[in-house]
Amino acid sequence: MEKEIKFGFVNREESMCDKCPYRSKKFKLYEEVQTKIPGKKAAKINISAQGALRQTPLGYTGLRKIVLGSNMPAPTAQGLQKRANKVLPEIVKINKKEMKARRKQLIAINTLRGRKSPGSVSLQADGAENNAIYTGIGKTSFQPATQVMYSVAETETEDKSIIGVVC
């Protein structure tokens, strides 16, 4: 364990003999994500953890508390942030590509339905601010917010898929 190298949820270890100077090479105790980018490859579990964190309101501190409370070694907050900075742009790119495909699919559906303007789609939209409404009582008639997420969903199909997001 003296020669353990830990990063995120995974580690590399080497074996060593107590009686002689033998040391093995370092062994990866995890699977790597295969990319075309040169350099050290990310561990699958570290990438998966970032994907799961994006789908919950749980932050790095909360994740660390749960892992440490389970008596397991937790990744550092800095390491989690560093991995998120690499993973999040990919998640955004995938989401944008998927929403674009959904918009094209809606146009194709409307074309098959015989609509004169297949690009015209019925929509629903809603925004969510980062501050509660009551924080501006007596100060402003608007909801004070420094961040907002506005989503647009189609109402043409039973799926009611989100086809656009603005932050």
The verdict on residue 123 lying in a domain is no
- Cα distance between residue 101 and residue 87, in whole Å: 21
The verdict on residue 52 lying in a domain is yes
The verdict on residue 70 lying in a domain is yes
pLDDT per residue as tens digits for the range 102-143 = 999 999 988 998 988 888 888 999 988 777 666 566 676 666
Domain that holds residue 20: 5-90
The verdict on residue 140 lying in a domain is no
pLDDT per residue as tens digits for the range 25-66 = 888 888 888 877 777 788 888 888 888 888 787 788 888 888
Beta pairing partners, 149: 128
* 105 to 12, 118, 119, 121, 133: CA distances (angstroms): 46, 11, 10, 11, 37
Three-state DSSP class for residue 157: coil
34: amino acid identity, one letter: Q
The verdict on residue 42 lying in a domain is yes
Residue 98 token pair? 């998927």
Tally of domains in the chain: 1
The verdict on residue 118 lying in a domain is no
